[in-house]
Amino acid sequence: MSRVGKMPVALPQGVDVSIKEDQISVKGAGGTLLLAQNPLVKVVSESGKLSFAPANDSREANAMSGTMRQLVNNMVIGVTKGFEKKLNLVGVGFRAQAQGAKLNLAVGFSHPVNKDMPAGISVATPAPTEIVIKGADRQRVGQVAAEIRAIRPPEPYKGKGIRYADEKITIKETKKK
């Protein structure tokens, strides 16, 4: 059995999990998240813990038990603490400004770039060159951060562009004559 799948998910105070035939719902202070139930995994709720077990002896069921466990664990963490990604803008004149559910970027194009945030995702700019994306759904926070980074990914010669806060860019040497 999957090592990750063997570990139960502890449910903190204030988190309510409902398991139905077709979906798992996690409700907490950060909102409500839904996950489609997989028929290869049996989910059991007992005394404040969720246990995941493969429904049969197949390799796929074993792998899915660990995957489902981690997805539900991320949902529990999301509705209690939430997730955040930080992006930095590197370049002369590059700046970002959050206006409600919109992000305005000036990243060296002839026009400003406006990005609308999906529901459940909030964006903040503590400094003109920093962007902080927060939300309860880990996958959506990462996807929005990747879409913002894709507007102007860091280039390899000067390192200008939008990068993750913990990302290391390897600077290439310019061509010699």
Range of the domain at 128: 83-164
Average pLDDT over residues 94-98: 95
Q: What is the pLDDT of residue 78?
A: 94
Q: What is the pLDDT of residue 70?
A: 95
Average pLDDT over residues 146-158: 95
Per-residue pLDDT tens over the stretch 17-49: 999 989 999 999 989 999 999 999 999 998 889
Percentage of the chain exceeding pLDDT 90: 88
Question: CATH number of the domain that 126 lies in?
Answer: 3.90.930.12
Amino acid at 108: G
Q: What is the pLDDT of residue 2?
A: 66
Q: What is the pTM of this model?
A: 0.90
Give the count of domains, the chain: 2
Q: Are residues 135 and 141 in contact, defined by beta-carbon separation less than 8 angstroms?
A: yes
> Partners of 134 in the beta sheet?
84, 122
Per-residue pLDDT tens over the stretch 36-85: 999 999 999 988 899 999 999 999 999 999 999 999 999 999 999 999 99
In our burial notation (b when 16+ CB lie closer than 10 A, e otherwise), range 39-57 reads ebbbbeeeeeebbbbbeee
How many Å apart are CA 42 and CA 22, to the nearest integer? Answer: 12
pLDDT at 1 over 80: no
Residue 145, number of CB atoms within 10 A of its CB:
22
Of 80, 108, 123, the residue at which a domain comes to its end is: 80
Of 54, 80, 106, the residue at which a domain comes to its end is: 80
* Judgement on whether residues 64 and 114 belong to the same structural domain of the protein: no
- Residue 135 in any domain: the answer is yes
Q: Which of 85, 71, 4 is nearest to 33 (CA)?
A: 71
Residue 123's pLDDT band (boundaries 50, 70, 90)? very high
Average pLDDT of the chain, as a whole number:
93
